[in-house]
Amino acid sequence: MIRVLGIGPGSPNLLTLECIDIIRHAKHLIGTRRQLAIVEKALAIWGSNTELLEWHPYDGTLNVLADLIQVLLDKEEIPIVLASGDPNFYGVGDWIKRNFTNEEIEITMGLSSSQYMFNRIGQPMHDVYMTSVHGREPDFGLWSKMKRICVLTDNKWTPNAIADEMIKRGDNPILYIGERLSYPDEIMTICTADSVPLKEYAMNVVVIEYER
């Protein structure tokens, strides 16, 4: 069996009680150093004893993650894999399902960065096109037909790259750019595509709003 836990966008205060309870009873926890640090802070808040918990850090590379999971499965242990945000929204949950088809997989939802973002900007989510550009090309033609789009970005399709392409297409929507969401140094920028600040962006979510 493999368990996948959504741990939210970043703040240790945003882990669900269900997630905390699962971790309290866990033996093996797999995550990036950032994810493990979030959990460690959350457990400190709840006063949980972690002496019997084994931490298995990895660098975010999926083949390394696969090896860690398999080693624990071979020992008949239950790997618990941490996932940023919600594992079911462009997260590691689907990847694990596709790569460990012979295993029972249980996924525990978490608060997604998109949910957090919309709460921060005070906008509804019911008319939003949700997508990600992690390892995929944006469909700008489709986006231009939508009223509102929420995009999980990557190192190639940064807020600047997205805005530049929209300007080339003759579009100039409003962009809400949320960096390091829920962390103490969170940054929120609201601007039109033609005025997106040219800079290095930390991990971020972009909401694009067209006037219809």
Q: How far apart are CA 7 and CA 16, in angstroms?
A: 7
Task: Classify each residue of 98-112 as buried b or exposed e, where b means 16 or more C-beta atoms within 10 Å of its C-beta.
Answer: eebeeeeeebbbbbb
State the angle between helix axes of 92-99 and 62-74 in degrees (0 to 180), rounded to the nearest 10: 60
| pLDDT for res 47 | 82
Residue 11 CA, distance from chain mean position? 12
- The helix (H) or strand (E) run that includes residue 118 is helix 113-121
Three-state DSSP at 138 gives: coil
| pLDDT for res 128 | 96
- The strand pair at 80-83 and 28-32 is best described as parallel
| pLDDT for res 67 | 97
Q: Encode pLDDT of 25-63 as tens digits.
A: 999 999 999 999 999 999 999 887 777 799 999 999 999
Task: Classify each residue of 181-195 as buried b or exposed e, where b means 16 or more C-beta atoms within 10 Å of its C-beta.
Answer: bbeeebeebeeebee
Q: Give me the residue label for tokens 């029972």.
A: 104
Average pLDDT value for the chain: 94
| pLDDT for res 9 | 96
End-to-end CA separation in angstroms for the chain: 48
Q: Encode pLDDT of 75-103 as tens digits.
A: 999 999 999 999 999 999 999 999 999 99
Q: How far apart are CA 29 and CA 7, in angstroms?
A: 12
Taking the model in full, what pTM does it have? 0.91
Q: Encode pLDDT of 109-155 as tens digits.
A: 999 999 999 999 999 999 999 999 988 899 999 999 999 999 999 99
| pLDDT for res 80 | 97
